[in-house]
Structure 1
Amino acid sequence: MTGTSITAPADPLISGDDQHLRILTTTDLAGIDISLSDVVATVEGAYRTLHAGRSDNPRKLTVKPPDGHSVSYAMLGRDGSRDVVAIKTSYKHGLDKGRADQHYYTALTLYDDVTGLPVAMMDCARIGSLRTPAVSALLARACAAPGARSALVIGTGTQGRLALPFLLTTLPELDRLMLSGTHPEGIAAVRERLHAHFPDRDVEIVTDLRAAAADADVVVATAGAHTPAAVEADWLRPGALSVLVGHGLAPSTLHRADRVIATSEAQMHITGTDMADADGQLPAVDAEFPSVLAGASAGRRSAQERIFAYNSGLVVTDIALGHRFAQLALAQGLGTEVPLWQ
């Protein structure tokens, strides 16, 4: 499906000095106002620069103990349009417990590759909470069937709460919005975020997941690992696009898809092992998303294809959006200078 690209605002280079590091906390970043279209444009620009060969996005490093109670990632990258180098770290503890008992920490450190000076270190939680649904929305714009009008979001956690506003940003013609969730506070948060960005729109809470999936042109699965939700391939209508962010899709949606798109095939083989078949195998990816966005590969070849899209975060998108937030934060005088190297 085609849509209008949004042009990202130009980012002037920003950097500090060789003795101090500016720290941007959760509170600092929470106070920054940024539009959904700005986020989408920034993320799209990062993908296009990567496809053009001007950015570097090496495979992420992963550490996970044998019992699976935690997982850690380290991601290094370079944004060629901003001349920024960065490293992102992510650590989640309590994967064997409920959401309330889990701990999650993620940080992004940016360096100006022109001056060689540090830009900022920041909490990366808000960056990820915006970047990921923006990618899903771009996938929907590029891969949904022509005339798509209905969307189903599975899950009401961090990634589920902005999924619908971002989908409406890239596919404003959607007229039926459905949500499958079990946590009342999460459902309320989804409604609040939707009304904040689109006051005249509401979401339909569904309890029959199979029926809802059959009615959806776009399915975005964002649920946590303990969800009982698992949409099967034969529940999906012809032409449906299913986007996997977290959980909520059964492996059949991948293995029986007519076309498979991934933000990164290498990343899918690291973080998508729960979608493997009985032999532990994942199917080949037909196209990577940066190539689709750039027009070098087809997102969809026919209106009837059932397409599976794997949304795994690429650090170049974190770098681009993190740099955008750092630019806005510095303009507002936010953050704390720490004499780290004195």
Structure 2
Amino acid sequence: MTGIPTVPDDKHLRILSTSDLAGIDISLADVVDTVQGAYRTLHAGESDNPRKLTVKPRDGHSVSYAMLGRDGSRDVVAIKTSYKHGLDKDRDAQHYYTALTLYDDVTGLPLAMMDCSRIGSLRTPAVSALLARELAAPGARSALVIGTGTQGRLALPFLLTTLPDLDRLMLSGTHPEGIAAVRERLRAHFPDRDVEVVTDVRSAAAEADVVVATAGPHTPVAVEAEWLRPGALSVLVGHGLAPSTLHRADRVIATSEAQMNVTGTDMADDDGKLPPVDAEFPPVVAGAAVGRRSPGERIFAYNSGLVVTDIALGHRFAQLAIAQGLGTEVPLWQ
């Protein structure tokens, strides 16, 4: 049985597949506003975002996460699971699965279970763009994105959404199909813009006001602190920044200090330690904490996923999907 039932019940679960979500049209500005709202609700104490659970075998060939949360503005409870296999292999030999299950905390009924890959591919660059809007130096005009994978492909369109005055867009990547995909996504949202592919990353980093590192763990790129210009903002999503950019930063901002301490261990110093965070991002975006203090300070920002942002964006997609009659009803509890 396909389609979304008019009246939800406690016997069925609505499944939204990859193809269901792929057909939903949502603007970059809508995504940014949704994610921003989730941060502000969390800061207001209306949402809950516990620390994620992590399981990783000793040889490091896979990693899995479980994240539970509640969005107080939407009265939605959700759990997200994420599993990646083949971390010791090339990207095309890896397997990655992530799912989000939403429950209505007013009626107590399930809302939907969905593939979370598109949610993550939009949420993460939207967060980077919000970090850039709040933390980039005044008058920032140039950006460098490192990596052309899933997170790198929408990084520039989202940056232009929050920083429309950027006039130089640079990209460091080695995969031709990834570079082509970055260009395709950029032109789809900003037809008159193009990206400059750079091979001298040190020189590019020295000229960038914003550096967003989204590369995979096998990247040879590792931007050092001394490469960055005064006032530069470096945002770590995946890989591409050396630990010095964190330890020698004038200011450190994290979406969550607890999350950084769990997932950012590859940035630890020789003693296995990470520096303290100067501010977390939810109060910064809510206007309750200071982000940048002066134009010349170098800021390091750690972008780790908070499940409340997945819940907010997942719920937005569920609303749009239900309105379009998308999804499959599964009699899971019969």
- Normalised to the residue count of structure 2, the TM-score between the two structures is 0.98
Query: Would you say 1:183 and 2:147 are equivalent positions?
Result: no
2:297 equivalent to 1:323: no
Matched ranges for 1:197-276 at <5 A? 197-276=189-268
Alpha-carbon contact 1:15-1:119 (below 8 Å) kept:
no
Identify if the C-alpha distance between structure 1 residues 274 and 336 changes in structure 2 by more than 3 Å, giving closer, same or farther: same
Alpha-carbon shift at residue 15 of structure 1 (Å): 7.5
Q: Deviations over 1:130-172 (max 9, x none)?
A: 0000000000000000000000000000000000000000000
What is the percent sequence identity of the aligned residues?
Answer: 88
Give the unaligned 5+ runs of structure 2. 1-5
* 1:243 alignment partner AA: V
Q: What runs of 5+ residues in structure 1 fail to find an aligned partner?
A: 1-13
Matched, 1:127 2:106: no
Corresponding residue of 1:35:
27
Q: Which runs of 4+ in 1 moved over 6 A?
A: none
How far is the alpha carbon of 1:16 from its aligned partner? Answer: 2.2
8 Å contact 1:78–1:84 — kept in the other structure? yes
Give 3-state SS (helix, strand or coil) of 1:319's partner.
helix
Match of 1:111 among 87, 91, 103: 103
Equivalent-residue separation in structure 2 for 1:49 and 1:273 (angstroms) = 28
Query: Deviation digits for residues 228-283 of structure 1, max 9, x if unmatched?
Result: 00000000000000000000000000000000000000000000000000000000
Does residue 71 (structure 1) correspond to residue 53 (structure 2)? The answer is no
Please give the alpha-carbon distance, in whole angstroms, between the structure 2 residues aligned to 1:44 and 1:78: 16
Contact 1:16 1:22 in 2 (8 A): no
What are the superposed Cα offsets for residues 101-133 of structure 1, whole Å, 9 maximum, x if unpaired?
A: 000000000000000000000000000000000
Counterpart position of 2:137? 145
Conserved 8 A contact 1:70-1:95: yes
Residue aligning to 2:325: 333
Q: 1:15 to 1:87 in 2, by over 3 A?
A: farther
Tell me how far 1:295 sits from its aligned partner. 1.1
State whether structure 2 residue 195 is matched by structure 1 residue 195: no
Whether 2:270 is the aligned partner of 1:289: answer no
CA distance in 2, matches of 1:263, 1:100: 29
Letter in 2 for 1:71: V
Q: Which residue pairs with 1:310 in the alignment?
A: 302
Q: TM-score, normalised by structure 1?
A: 0.96
Query: 1:79 touches 1:316 (CA, 8 Å); kept in 2?
Result: yes
Contact kept, 8 Å, 1:151 with 1:178, in 2: the verdict is yes
Q: Is the 8 A contact 1:15 1:111 kept in 2?
A: no
Aligned length: 329
